[in-house]
Structure 1
Amino acid sequence: MIRFINTFGFVGLMRPAPGTWGSLAALLIGWGLERYVGFPALLIATLAVTALGFWSINVALKDRPGEDPSEIVIDEVAGQWLAMLFPAVAFFSKDLAMAWPAPITAFVLFRLFDITKPWLVGRADARHDPAGVMLDDLWAGVFAGVSTLVLGIIYHIIFL
Structure 2
Amino acid sequence: MRRIVGSFGGIGFAPVAAGTWGSLAALGLGYLLHRAGGFPLLGLATLAALAAGLWAARREADTLGKFDPSWIVIDEVVGMWIALFPLSLGLWLHDAPPALFPWPGWVSAFLIFRLLDIWKPGPVGWADRRHGATGVMLDDVIAGVLTALAVTAMAAIAHGWLA
TM over 0.5: yes
Which deviations, in whole Å up to 9, do the C-alpha atoms of 1:25-69 show, x marking residues without a partner?
000011111023322111110111011111111111125556311
Which deviations, in whole Å up to 9, do the C-alpha atoms of 1:91-143 show, x marking residues without a partner?
22211246222211111111011111111111100112221000000000000
The equivalent position to 1:119 in structure 2, one of 117, 122, 130, is 122
Alignment of structure 1 residues 126-141 onto 2, 5 Å: 126-141=129-144
Once the two structures are overlaid, the 10-residue window that deviates more, 112-121 or 99-108, is 99-108
Alignment of structure 1 residues 1-160 onto 2, 5 Å: 1-64=1-64, 67-96=67-96, 97=98, 99-157=102-160
Once the two structures are overlaid, the 10-residue window that deviates more, 13-22 or 56-65, is 56-65
Give the 3-state SS of the residue equivalent to 2:103 in structure 1.
coil
CA distance in 1, matches of 2:94, 2:141: 26
Q: Indicate if the aligned counterparts of 1:30 and 1:81 stay in contact, CA closer than 8 A.
A: yes
Determine what percentage of the aligned residue pairs are the same residue.
44
CA distance in 1, matches of 2:115, 2:43: 23
Q: TM-score if structure 2 supplies the norm length? A: 0.91
Supply the AA of the counterpart residue of 1:128: H
Q: CA deviation at 1:15?
A: 2.2
Q: CA deviation at 1:157?
A: 2.3
Q: Indicate if the aligned counterparts of 1:79 and 1:141 stay in contact, CA closer than 8 A.
A: yes
Specify every segment of 5 or more residues in structure 1 that has no aligned partner in the other structure, as ranges: none
Supply the AA of the counterpart residue of 1:69: P
Aligned length: 159
Specify every segment of 5 or more residues in structure 2 that has no aligned partner in the other structure, as ranges: none
Q: TM-score if structure 1 supplies the norm length? A: 0.92
Q: 1:61 to 1:26 in 2, by over 3 A?
A: same
CA RMSD of aligned residues (A): 1.8
Once the two structures are overlaid, the 10-residue window that deviates more, 59-68 or 36-45, is 59-68
